[in-house]
Structure 1
Amino acid sequence: MSETPIPYAGHHDGPMRVLHLHTRRGIVAKAGVTVGIDGAHYHQRWGRAAFEIPADKPVHVAVSQGGGQVGVAATVLTSEQPSELEYRGPAALYLAGTIGAPGTVKQRGCLLQLAIFALAPLIALTLVIVISILLTR
């Protein structure tokens, strides 16, 4: 990855490394994400971003959608862990997102959204049938 890393906003005199973060939209998503690195917030587009972080201490990483508390997911990245994370937005904006090592995060709420989208037409069809039966009596 060749992104120029966003400089670390906190005070740190020790060694640094680069966190590569890949953000992926959920089924329903806000326009962008807000990434928090040790309390400093950065508004980003969906996709890949790089952040300079301390190499010798734990770093708190949080991601939410838009500028608010939608789809929030957070983790503490220790100096022993690889500096690559993936965020996946939820299927519904009232659910939390997921963050973790690339390839390990799953989208929350897919079954719920499938149930909602599948049941709505079924309920509508049932109502039409019931109403038509009642009207023919």
Structure 2
Amino acid sequence: MSEAPIPYAGDYGGPMRILQLHTRRGVVAKAGVTVGIDGAHYHQGWGRAAFEIPADRPVHVVVSQGAGQIGVAATELTPEQPSALEYRGPAALYLAGTIGAPGTVKQRGCLVQLAIFALFPLMALALVIVIVILLSR
């Protein structure tokens, strides 16, 4: 990542560290994400971003899709935790996203989406079979 980290917006003069945040789209996704750090909001594209955060106290991190309350996921990052997080958008926009240590987050709603996408063609096929059977009598 070649860009400088986004400065911390809160009133804080202590030691800082860099939060590396990787946001990953779900099956259905808005154009970008809104990252909230201790109440300050930053509109970002999908991918990697770096933020300055206090090094000696917990920081509240919230990620949502677009500018609204879609796919919201939140966590509190303590000074003892590594300063890297991953956000994964859900498979359906009415579900919450997930946020956590890189490599540990899973996409919510994959089975629901699979059921929706698989069930509709199966129902259409069953309807066609029923119609063919009725017309062949």
Report the Cα distance in structure 2 between the residues aligned to 1:46 and 1:74, rounded to whole angstroms: 17
1:134: how far off? 2.2
Aligned pairs for 1:12-91 within 5 A: 12-91=12-91
The one-letter code sitting in structure 2 at the alignment partner of 1:82 is P
Report the Cα distance in structure 1 between the residues aligned to 2:127 and 2:21, rounded to whole angstroms: 47
State the secondary structure of the residue aligned to 1:93: coil
* Cα shift readout 1:56-76 (whole Å, capped 9, x = no counterpart): 110000000000000000000
Q: Indicate the larger mover: 51-60 or 124-133.
A: 124-133
The one-letter code sitting in structure 1 at the alignment partner of 2:101 is A
1:136: how far off? 2.9
Report % sequence identity.
Answer: 85
TM-score normalized with structure 1 length: 0.97
1:116: how far off? 1.1
Aligned pairs for 1:103-114 within 5 A: 103-114=103-114
1:31: how far off? 0.2
Mind listing any 5+ residue stretches in structure 1 that lack a counterpart? none
* Cα shift readout 1:79-109 (whole Å, capped 9, x = no counterpart): 1100000000000110000000000000001
Mind listing any 5+ residue stretches in structure 2 that lack a counterpart? none
1:115: how far off? 1.1
Runs of 4+ aligned residues of structure 1 deviating over 3 Å after TM superposition are none
TM-score normalized with structure 2 length: 0.97
The one-letter code sitting in structure 2 at the alignment partner of 1:132 is V
Match of 1:97 in 2: 97
Report the Cα distance in structure 2 between the residues aligned to 1:134 and 1:38, rounded to whole angstroms: 64
The one-letter code sitting in structure 2 at the alignment partner of 1:38 is D
**RMSD, matched Cα:** 0.9
